[in-house]
Structure 1
């Protein structure tokens, strides 16, 4: 017996590669060695200081781009676009389920070590690692849905990983 599958369901033929997506999120926020992370470049372009970013009171509302600015100037456009992306990132993290959002904020935004975050959320290492990976994947998918030009998701199709240059993605700055 043949089962009718609506066209929308074909979306699930592409499976999210959890490990590759989590790794891509990690390298968006934290780069190895002497490279500046894309997230750091973004908040620098937005005119937000590292201290402001790590403030417990920073929210998406505080970094919204203002339409009052002179949009004719290229520099102002860069600042406004960076603020829009930064606001989307913070809004996604704020909107995440409590533990996952807390892991994202403490580890990736405030720069806590894994041990400090484990202690703060009250989980052992293996449970924490599971939550951290899941948090990164939820973050990547939620951010992609906001369509702000940052795509951190990776997929597997027919048991083959899609090479990054073949993904349908937008430039991440």
Structure 2
């Protein structure tokens, strides 16, 4: 249940995509963890990685740290090009009702990430926004956030739940 059994008219592509890396193992690309009670948690995509100064970090790792702050409702982390480090992390944070953005809060979030992940992964910027662009399935659309941050064309936005969230990101930039 829930596992694809093939690609339309392209069996070999399906085998190459999901079954070729390890014998008899379906590699789907989700990054998961199992706790001491045997409960599984989907943490993000294993192929969604930001490379910063030779270190690799998943956006979900950065987001979990930022989201642990009591002032933050949710966040998104993106990688943006940097001539020295290859990429740098930029964070967009949605604050809880009644919490006002401030330089002190921005610094707290930067320091929180740095303390957990190390100096090379300190965010270049922490931006505050009213909402994150999401699909109808509530998945944050990081590619749209990245395109808006870099001033690029947004591409296909047909799966966006709330177009106003894109404006929130653009206003934060």
Give the TM-score normalised by the residue count of structure 1.
Answer: 0.27
Give the TM-score normalised by the residue count of structure 2.
Answer: 0.27
More strand, by proportion: 2
